[in-house]
A and B are shown apart, each in its own frame.
Chain A
Amino acid sequence: MNRFAALIEALAFEPRRLAKLTLMEEHFRSVPDPDRGYCLAALCGALDLPAAKPAMLRQLISERTDPVLFALSYDYVGDLSETIALLWPAPADTLTRDSSIGTIVETLQKASRREVAGLVAGLLDTLDERGRWALLKLMTGGFRIGVSASLAKLALARFGRVEAAAIEEIWHGLEPPYAGLFAWLEGRGPRPDPGQALTFRSPMLAHPVEDEDFDRLDPHEFSAEWKWDGIRVQAAGRLRGNAVEIRLFSRSGDDITTAFPDLAGALHFDGVIDGELVVMEGESVAPFSAVQQRLNRKSVSARLTTEFPAHLIAYDCLFAGEEDLRSLSLAERRERLDALVAAHGGRLRTSPPLDFDSWEDLARQRAQSAEHPAIEGVMLKRLASPYLAGRPKGHWYKWKRDPGLVDCVLMYAQRGHGKRSSYYSDFTFGVWDGDRLVPVGKAYFGFSDAELIELDRFVRQNTTNRFGPVREVVHEARTGLVLEIAFEGLQASTRHKSGIAMRFPRIHRIRWDKPPAEADRLTTLQAALARIPAQPAVPDA
C-alpha cells in the first residue's frame, strides 16, 4: 500500500502534467502485476469494492470519535476519506506490515459485508496517515489529485509505446487488474481482443467555441444541429437472426441499458450509434427535468416509462454492422446514419441539420431557440471530420446559448467540498418577493480563488444565525451582498418555495457595489418562465 500511497501523494502535489505522466509511467514500469493494474483501475475510477462504502466508514469512525467533533471536522475538511484519515486513532507505531494494494483489493472484494468493517479497521490501524488516506480513497473513489482517467491511460500508452487511441479502443472490454493489457504493452502477449461482446467505444467530444474562432472557421465546411439537453448515449446493437441485443452506454462508458428498458426494447439495429437520450412529450422534446426523473432509480416502473418515455436522437454512426465507419467523413457517416434511421423509425430519430449560410444567420437561430427548454445551444461539426476518440482540436464545437442573468441576494452559506473545502463556498441566494427574500437557488462555483477568500470572509463576518453547518448571512434591504447569477434555463418547480428552479446556476459576478434592495424581484423570473412557449416539435427525419 505504501508504494501506491506514495504515488497518489506525489501526483496530488505535482502540478506539472508531464511530471505527472512520468510518475505514473515509472510506477507501471517498476511495480508488478496485479498491483499496478489495481492502481490503474483506481486512477481510472474502474475499481468497485461493493462492500466498502462510505456508510460503513462513517460507522467505523463514529465508534472511535465524538460524533460532534467528527461532524465539525468533516464539515471543515470537506472530504470524508481525508477526515477519517486525519482523525483515525492509530495505535502507537505499529506500522510493521505493509500489504500490497493487490492483496488488499482482492481481500476486500472477497469479503462479505459483515467481514469488511473489521478488515478495513484492521488495515487502517497498520497504516500511517498517508496510507490511510490512500486506502480510504481507494474505497470511496474520487482522488481529486488532478489525474483524469484519460491522463492515466496516456501514461499507460507512453509506458507501452502505443497510441492512446489503441488503448481506448480495447479499454471497455477489459477488467482490473488488466494482466493481459500489461502483457501486451510489454510485448509479452497478444493484443487483448474486445471480441464479440458489445463494448463501448470512446466517444468524440466537442470544444466550446470562442468568439475569435468564428473568424477562422468557414461556415460552409460545417454542419450545425441543435444541442439537445438530454444525456449523451452510445447505443450498440447486434442482430442475430430475429434476435436483437442492445446495450446503452453513458458518456463515460457505464452500461445503463437496464435503466432504459423502454428504449432498449424499442431499438433493433446492427451497429453503433452516438446520440442524445431524451424524454418525449408527444412530438416535443421534454426539458432535462423529465430525463432526470429517469436517472438514479433502483427500479423502473411501468408508470415511469409511460409518463417519461425515453427516445434517442441520433447524430452519428460509428459502426454499421461490423463495418467501422469512424475513418469516414462526417458527411459520409451521416448518410449511413440517415439510411439506418429511415429504416428504423419509432423511438429513433436523427437530429435535423440546421440550414444556415453564415455564422450571423446561425447566431440568429440560436438566439431564437432561447425559449425552447430542451435546447442548450448549437453543435458545430466539421463535415470532413472523422470520428476521433477524445476531444480532438478543430473538429467539433459546442456553442451554448448566452446564459440568463439575475441579481440575487446571498442568504445562506455552507462550507464546500473538494477544492473549495474549508471555505464557505456553497451559497444559497434569493430574490425579492414583496419586502422579503425567497431563496431561488444554490451556487458553488463561478468565482476565482481570490474571490472565494473574500466571500468566505464576508460570510464569517456577517453571520446572523447558525443552523448546524449552515450560516445565515445578513440579507436586509441595505446590508448584504448581491450576487449576479448566470443560469441556463428556468423550470417551474414545486420543490422550491419560490416555485422556480434554475438550471446550472453559477456566480457570474460579485456585486460588492450594489445594495440588496436593488436586486431582482421574483416577478422578473416568473415573467421569464411564462415566456417559455409550448415546445416546438422535433421534425421527423
Chain B
Amino acid sequence: MAIRPETLLHPRPEGLYCPPGDFHIDPMRPVARALVTHAHSDHGRAGHGHVLATRETLDIMRIRLGEGFCGSEQAMPFGESLTHGGVRISFHPAGHVLGSAQIALEWQGCRIVVSGDYKRRPDPTAEAFALQACDVFVTEATFGLPVFRHPDARGEAGRLLASLARFPERPHLIGAYSLGKAQRMIRLLRDCGHDAPILLHGALEKVTQYYEARGIALGRLEPVAGHKARDLAGRIVLCPPSALADRWSRRFPDPVTAVASGWMRIRARARQRGAEIPMVISDHADWPELQETILETGAGEIWVTHGQEDALVHWCQQRGLAARPLRLVGYGDEEAA
C-alpha cells in the first residue's frame, strides 16, 4: 500500500468521505455526490445531488422515496469500473438484497472495499456475494457476536409450514422487512413446496412487484386488503414487522405470529416482538461468515462500520489484523424500527 488508506477514505459526521473523488458512500445527510451500496433507508437516503448506484438500487430508491429522491442518478453495472478524480470505482454483488453492492475504490495502489451490508448464504432473490481482495475491508457487524450463528433458512421455514399444517384454521402472519427479507421469504416458501397464494400487506406490494419485474418468480401473490376475515384461515400473510403490533393485525382471527429476522436468535428479542414462531433468517453475515469473509479478502486492515463492532474488532486484533470501529451513527435503524 503506497498511501495511508485514510487519505482515500475516512469517516465524517455525515458519513464515509473520499477526498480525492470528493464523494461520500452511504451518507446519512444530503451531500453533493453519493455512492450508495443498497436501497435500505439507512444507507440510501433522499436528498443527494448526484447518486451512483446499481440500476436495482436506484429503481428501489425511487419506489420507496419517490421521484426526485436525488438531483441526478447514474446506474453502475456490477463488475464495470469508472474513474473519478483519479479514483477507480467499481461495484460488486454483496448478496444482501436485490441490487446490493460492495463498492471498491482504488487510488495510488490502495484498494478499499466498502461492503455495505452483506451475506454469503444462498439467496435466489439477490445477486451472490462476490469476494473482493483488498487492502482495507470495511465491514458491517450487525451480528458481530459469537452467539449469532444463523441456522439453515429452509429448516426455519419448515417450522412455519409445520405450524400451518398443525393449525390449518389459523392465519399465519410473518413479519419480514419489506425490502429483501419479504421477497426472500416468499421464494423460500415456494422452494419448500408451498404453492398456495401468499397475501401481502400493502407496504410490501410495490417492491415485491419490482422483484418480479426483474425476473424473480414469486408465485401467486394477492393483496390482503379485500379478503374477508373468514377467508384468512390457513393463509400465509406477509407484513412489515412493525405491522404485527399495529391495529392492522387485529383483522386476523386468532393468528399465529412469526417473525423472520436474525435477531430471533435471542429469546428476549423474539418475545419483545411477540413471535410465536421466531425464524432465524437474516440477510446479514453471521459471526462465522464475518470471520471467514474478513480472512478471505486478505485485507491487512479492517474497519467496522456498525453493529456489534467491539467483538469483531477484538477478534481481528487477536489475529494480528489492524482493526478499528468507525463509530458511524445512523446505520442499522431501518431494521431496528
Whether B329 pairs with A460 at a CB distance below 8 angstroms is yes
- Nearest residue (CB) in A for B276 is A13
Whether A66 pairs with B266 at a CB distance below 8 angstroms is no
Q: Which residues from A are CB-within-8-Å of B311?
A: 68-69, 72-73
Interface string of A69-92 (1 = CB under 8 A from B): 100110011110011001100000
Whether B145 pairs with A76 at a CB distance below 8 angstroms is yes
How far does the Cβ of A476 sit from chain B's closest Cβ, in whole Å?
17
Indicate whether A419 sits within 8 Å of B308 (C-beta atoms), given known contacts A69-B145, A76-B145, A77-B147: no
Whether A453 pairs with B336 at a CB distance below 8 angstroms is yes
- Nearest residue (CB) in A for B330 is A461
Interface string of A395-421 (1 = CB under 8 A from B): 000000000000000000000001111
Bound-state Cα–Cα, A420 to B315, Å: 27
Q: Which residues from B are CB-within-8-Å of A76?
A: 145, 147, 266, 308
Bound-state Cα–Cα, A68 to B149, Å: 18
Is A422 positioned at the interface, with any CB of B under 8 Å from its CB? yes
How far does the Cβ of A530 sit from chain B's closest Cβ, in whole Å?
42
Q: Which residues from A are CB-within-8-Å of B267?
A: 12, 79, 82, 144
Whether B336 pairs with A457 at a CB distance below 8 angstroms is yes
Q: Which residues from A are CB-within-8-Å of B263?
A: 422
Is B174 positioned at the interface, with any CB of A under 8 Å from its CB? no
Q: Which 5 A-B pairs have the closest CB atoms?
A: A421-B268, A86-B147, A72-B311, A73-B147, A461-B329
Is B320 positioned at the interface, with any CB of A under 8 Å from its CB? no
Is A63 positioned at the interface, with any CB of B under 8 Å from its CB? no
> CB within 8 Å of B: which of A453-470?
453, 456-457, 460-461
Q: Which residues from A are CB-within-8-Å of B245?
A: 449
Is A390 positioned at the interface, with any CB of B under 8 Å from its CB? no
Taking a contact as CB atoms closer than 8 A, the residue among A12, A15, A83, A418 that contacts B147 in the complex is: A83
Q: Which residues from A are CB-within-8-Å of B147?
A: 73, 76-77, 83, 86-87
Is A107 positioned at the interface, with any CB of B under 8 Å from its CB? no
> CB within 8 Å of A: which of B178-216?
none
Is B310 positioned at the interface, with any CB of A under 8 Å from its CB? yes
> CB within 8 Å of A: which of B306-331?
308, 310-311, 314-315, 318, 329-330
Whether A69 pairs with B146 at a CB distance below 8 angstroms is yes
Q: Which residues from B are CB-within-8-Å of A72?
A: 145, 308, 310-311, 314
Bound-state Cα–Cα, A66 to B310, Å: 13
Is B296 positioned at the interface, with any CB of A under 8 Å from its CB? no
Bound-state Cα–Cα, A458 to B145, Å: 22
Bound-state Cα–Cα, A130 to B103, Å: 39
Whether B308 pairs with A12 at a CB distance below 8 angstroms is no
- Nearest residue (CB) in B for A14 is B276
Whether A15 pairs with B276 at a CB distance below 8 angstroms is yes
How far does the Cβ of B103 sit from chain A's closest Cβ, in whole Å?
24
How far does the Cβ of A454 sit from chain B's closest Cβ, in whole Å?
10
Whether B146 pairs with A15 at a CB distance below 8 angstroms is no
Is B265 positioned at the interface, with any CB of A under 8 Å from its CB? yes
Is B278 positioned at the interface, with any CB of A under 8 Å from its CB? yes
Q: Which residues from B are CB-within-8-Å of A12?
A: 267, 271
Q: Which residues from B are CB-within-8-Å of A453?
A: 336-337
Whether A419 pairs with B146 at a CB distance below 8 angstroms is no
Other 15 A-B pairs with CB < 8 A, given A78-B268, A86-B265: A12-B267, A13-B271, A13-B275, A66-B318, A68-B314, A72-B145, A72-B308, A76-B145, A86-B147, A144-B267, A421-B269, A449-B272, A457-B336, A460-B329, A461-B329
Q: Which residues from A are CB-within-8-Å of B146?
A: 65, 69, 73, 86-87
How far does the Cβ of A456 sit from chain B's closest Cβ, in whole Å?
8
Q: Which of A66, A82, A83, A86 has the most CB of B within 10 A?
A: A86
**Interface residue tally on A, bucketed by range:** 20 to 34
Is B333 positioned at the interface, with any CB of A under 8 Å from its CB? yes
What are 7 inter-chain pairs, A to B, with CB distance below 8 A? Answer: A69-B146, A69-B311, A72-B311, A79-B268, A146-B271, A422-B269, A460-B329
Indicate whether A421 sits within 8 Å of B266 (C-beta atoms), given known contacts A69-B314, A69-B315: yes
Q: Which residues from B are CB-within-8-Å of A14?
A: 276
How far does the Cβ of A91 sit from chain B's closest Cβ, in whole Å?
15
Whether B277 pairs with A77 at a CB distance below 8 angstroms is no
Count of interface residues, chain B, beta-carbon cutoff 8 Å: 30
Q: Which residues from A are CB-within-8-Å of B288?
A: none
Is B35 positioned at the interface, with any CB of A under 8 Å from its CB? no
Is B11 positioned at the interface, with any CB of A under 8 Å from its CB? no
Is B270 positioned at the interface, with any CB of A under 8 Å from its CB? yes
Q: Which residues from A are CB-within-8-Å of B315?
A: 66, 69
Bound-state Cα–Cα, A210 to B266, Å: 36
Is B300 positioned at the interface, with any CB of A under 8 Å from its CB? no
How far does the Cβ of B43 sit from chain A's closest Cβ, in whole Å?
16
Is B274 positioned at the interface, with any CB of A under 8 Å from its CB? yes
Q: Which residues from B are CB-within-8-Å of A79?
A: 267-268
> CB within 8 Å of B: which of A123-178?
144, 146
Whether B272 pairs with A13 at a CB distance below 8 angstroms is no
- Nearest residue (CB) in A for B147 is A86
How far does the Cβ of B91 sit from chain A's closest Cβ, in whole Å?
29
How far does the Cβ of A106 sit from chain B's closest Cβ, in whole Å?
28
How far does the Cβ of B17 sit from chain A's closest Cβ, in whole Å?
19
Whether B275 pairs with A77 at a CB distance below 8 angstroms is no
Q: Which residues from B are CB-within-8-Å of A418?
A: 268
> CB within 8 Å of B: which of A170-227?
none
How far does the Cβ of A322 sit from chain B's closest Cβ, in whole Å?
47
Q: Which of B268, B270, B275, B329 has the most CB of A within 10 A?
A: B268
Q: Which residues from B are CB-within-8-Å of A419?
A: 268, 271-272
- Nearest residue (CB) in A for B269 is A422
Whether B268 pairs with A13 at a CB distance below 8 angstroms is no
- Nearest residue (CB) in B for A74 is B147
Q: Which residues from B are CB-within-8-Å of A15?
A: 274, 276
Q: Which residues from B are CB-within-8-Å of A83?
A: 147
Whether A420 pairs with B145 at a CB distance below 8 angstroms is no
Taking a contact as CB atoms closer than 8 A, the residue among B149, B266, B275, B314 that contacts A422 in the complex is: B266
Bound-state Cα–Cα, A225 to B286, Å: 58
> CB within 8 Å of B: which of A417-459?
418-422, 449, 453, 456-457
Q: Which residues from A are CB-within-8-Å of B145?
A: 69, 72-73, 76
Bound-state Cα–Cα, A146 to B274, Å: 12
How far does the Cβ of B161 sit from chain A's closest Cβ, in whole Å?
16
Bound-state Cα–Cα, A82 to B315, Å: 22
Interface string of A8-21 (1 = CB under 8 A from B): 00001111000000
How far does the Cβ of B235 sit from chain A's closest Cβ, in whole Å?
20
Bound-state Cα–Cα, A422 to B267, Å: 10
Bound-state Cα–Cα, A77 to B265, Å: 10
How far does the Cβ of B163 sit from chain A's closest Cβ, in whole Å?
10
Q: Which residues from A are CB-within-8-Å of B337?
A: 453
- Nearest residue (CB) in B for A9 is B267
Whether B268 pairs with A422 at a CB distance below 8 angstroms is yes
Q: Which residues from A are CB-within-8-Å of B266?
A: 76-77, 82, 421-422
Whether A420 pairs with B318 at a CB distance below 8 angstroms is no
> CB within 8 Å of B: which of A12-44?
12-15
Q: Which residues from A are CB-within-8-Å of B308?
A: 72, 76
Bound-state Cα–Cα, A458 to B146, Å: 26
How far does the Cβ of A176 sit from chain B's closest Cβ, in whole Å?
25
How far does the Cβ of A65 sit from chain B's closest Cβ, in whole Å?
7
Q: Which residues from A are CB-within-8-Å of B276?
A: 13-15
Bound-state Cα–Cα, A32 to B318, Å: 50
Q: Which residues from B are CB-within-8-Å of A86?
A: 146-147, 149, 265
Q: Which residues from B are CB-within-8-Å of A420?
A: 268
Taking a contact as CB atoms closer than 8 A, the residue among A13, A69, A73, A82 that contacts B278 in the complex is: A13
